[in-house]
Amino acid sequence: MDYKVISADSHVSEPPHLWKKWLAPEFQKYAPKLVKDPDGGDAWQYGEGIAPAMSGLILVKRGRKYADKDYRWSGLTFEAANQGAFYGEPRLKEQDEDGVDAELLYAPHRAAVHFMAPGVSEIALAGVQAYNNWLMQEFCAVNPQRLIGLCLMPNAGIDAAVAELRRVRALGAKGISIMAWPSGGANLSPDDDPFWAEAEKLGVPVSIHIRLAGKEGLVKGMANSGAMAASAVNPLVVMSTGALADAPKLMCELIFAGVFDRFPKLKFVFGEVNVGWVPALKELMDDHYNRDRHWTKTNLKKMPSEYWESNFAGTFIIDKFGVKHRDEIGIDTMLWSTDYPHHRCDWLESQRIIDEHMVGVPADERAKMLAGNTVRIYGLA
């Protein structure tokens, strides 16, 4: 396929039938329940005693604008939302309307947290496999060249993670995403190495959407949209700083742990983090490494900053600063995205957003950021 425009970070939402059809019978008692929110919108109930997880800002409604009074968490029904969030066929039509050739699709965060947070390996694996099977065998099967699923990995121990990686690769997955370190530990450790080795062997990029959680963080992550809206801290604080707080830390953990000295062909992609911060972090890493590598007993095969271009990439939505400073970041590490159908997307406005970002950018560099880098990293050609 001749890709011109690919969103390297888009999403899907669970259709009403997903868990009933794809979750094994013995785990049906753990399935999320479809309920109504206080304003009559559709929401998922992720466990007893937890407020309904509303859908208004993770789904697109045709014609809705930021300033509209119904641009809020509550009140949106699945019927009123764009159906491409749930089903492959309408998603292709929505791509066409927006001038997008293909999308890489991340998992619904809240559903993943629901199954993984309890820390019960059997429940986590059952929920993750049900989602992955639906994604690959139903949603993306409509057109695997344009609907490219990033399968989710379970936090059920290193053996289960490696096995699921192999299984989804056999199903045709071009990439995977993780929400916790593969071994299930709270921190990166040598226990994760078998997973990195297998991902490198299979040529499967590992994607992280903004942050990782670990089991403790996943439990905290059960807080839903209603709780966020009622938080004492303005949600804008978290939304504005999350990527800047988490992605640089994860990048440093991986580099200074020597992961890429052991697995030099392993590729990581950070989703929804923008990339304007990269030059500053590269400079900081190199400075601290030069000053402190001896007493920290850190010995790398090359300077820390060099691993960004050899082993990392990041997606951006609104990042004119990053595009302007693309030479310092590394043009081959920048992947354009829409976040569709989440609230940061500008569906039907993507061509305008692209043009505003690419003023003065040479055609070959524009082509790399809009599609070429994604094609190369995920092996889509």
Task: Give the per-residue pLDDT at 225.
Answer: 44
pLDDT tens per residue across span 356-377:
999 999 999 999 999 999 999 9
Q: Does 70 have pLDDT greater than 90?
A: no
Task: Give the per-residue pLDDT at 122.
Answer: 96
Task: Give the per-residue pLDDT at 66.
Answer: 78
pLDDT tens per residue across span 315-334:
999 999 999 999 999 999 99
> What Cα–Cα distance (Å) separates residue 312 from each residue in 162, 165, 201, 373?
21, 20, 17, 11
Question: Is 284 a member of any domain?
Answer: yes
Question: Is 51 a member of any domain?
Answer: no
Residue pair 30/51 in contact by the 8 Å Cβ criterion: no
Query: Cα separation of 279 and 321, whole Å?
Result: 11
Question: Is 187 a member of any domain?
Answer: yes
Which CATH number fits the domain that encloses residue 302?
3.20.20.140
Task: Give the per-residue pLDDT at 214.
Answer: 54
Question: Is 61 a member of any domain?
Answer: no
Burial 217-245 (b: 16+ CB within 10 A, else e): ebeebbbbbbeeeeeeeeeeeeeeeebee
Question: Is 69 a member of any domain?
Answer: no
Number of domains composing the chain: 1
Residue pair 208/250 in contact by the 8 Å Cβ criterion: yes
Q: Categorize the per-residue pLDDT at 48 as very low, low, confident or very high, splitting at 50, 70 and 90.
A: confident
pLDDT tens per residue across span 245-301:
899 999 999 999 999 999 999 999 999 999 999 999 999 999 999 999 999 999 999
Question: Is 42 a member of any domain?
Answer: no
pLDDT tens per residue across span 124-168:
999 999 999 999 999 999 999 999 999 999 999 999 999 999 999
Q: Does 226 have pLDDT greater than 70?
A: no
Q: Categorize the per-residue pLDDT at 46 as very low, low, confident or very high, splitting at 50, 70 and 90.
A: very high
Residue pair 273/210 in contact by the 8 Å Cβ criterion: yes
Q: Does 205 have pLDDT greater than 60?
A: yes
Task: Give the per-residue pLDDT at 108.
Answer: 94
pLDDT tens per residue across span 158-200:
999 999 999 999 999 999 999 999 998 889 999 999 999 999 9
Q: Does 227 have pLDDT greater than 50?
A: no
Question: Is 180 a member of any domain?
Answer: yes
pLDDT tens per residue across span 77-124:
999 999 999 999 999 999 999 999 999 999 999 999 999 988 899 999
Question: Is 43 a member of any domain?
Answer: no
Q: Which domain holds residue 355?
A: 6-27+83-378
Query: Cα separation of 102 and 198, whole Å?
Result: 27
